[in-house]
Structure 1
C-alpha cells in the first residue's frame, strides 16, 4: 500500500495556507481585508502566504479600484482547486489508514 503521507501537498502544511485555500474553495472571491479579518492575520503574514500560493498558480490576485480606493481580491484557480482537493483526499486517506 502506498504511503498516504505522500498524497499530502507541502504547499498546504501551514494553517494559514490551509485557511486561505479553504476560504477560497467556498467563496468565489475574497478581498484582502475580509480574509485578514476571518483568519486573524497581520497584513505581512497574509501577504507572504498569498504570494507563495500565487507563485504556485493556486490562486489569482486581482487588483482594481473601487471608486478611488484600491481593492485586492483573491480567487482560486482550477489548478488550486485540484491541488487542494487532492490534499484533502490525502488527509482523509491518512486518517482512514490509521483506524
Structure 2
C-alpha cells in the first residue's frame, strides 16, 4: 500500500501546500497576510503549520523589513514541490484515479 507523507497529510498543511503549488511559480513567494487571507486561517494556526513545513524543508519563510515594517514571505522549495507531487501521486494511486 502506498504511504502518504504525514507532514503534508494534515488537512491544514495539505491546504497550504496545495495553495502554494497552485499560486506560485518556481522561485516565487507570497506575503504571509495574502496566504493567510487565501486560506482563511488564523495567524497563529498558519504560523504553526508553516513551521512544520519549514522544518521538513518543504517551504522557506523569509522575514525582512520594508522600511521599518516587518514583512514575512513564504516560498515552496524544490524539495517541497517534489514532495507535493509525490503526495498527489500516492493519493491518486490509493483512490485509483488518474494523474
Give yes or no for TM over 0.5.
yes
Runs of 4+ in 1 over 4 A off after TM superposition: none
> How is 1:27-66 mapped onto 2 (pairs within 5 angstroms)?
27=24, 28-66=28-66
RMSD between aligned residues:
1.3
Match of 2:9 among 9, 13, 30: 13
Structure number with higher helix proportion: 1
**TM-score, normalization by structure 2:** 0.87
Local SS of the residue matching 2:96: helix
Unaligned runs of 5+ in 2: none
**TM-score, normalization by structure 1:** 0.87
Q: Which has the larger radius of gyration?
A: 1
Unaligned runs of 5+ in 1: none
Task: Count how many residue pairs are aligned between Structure 1 and Structure 2.
Answer: 93
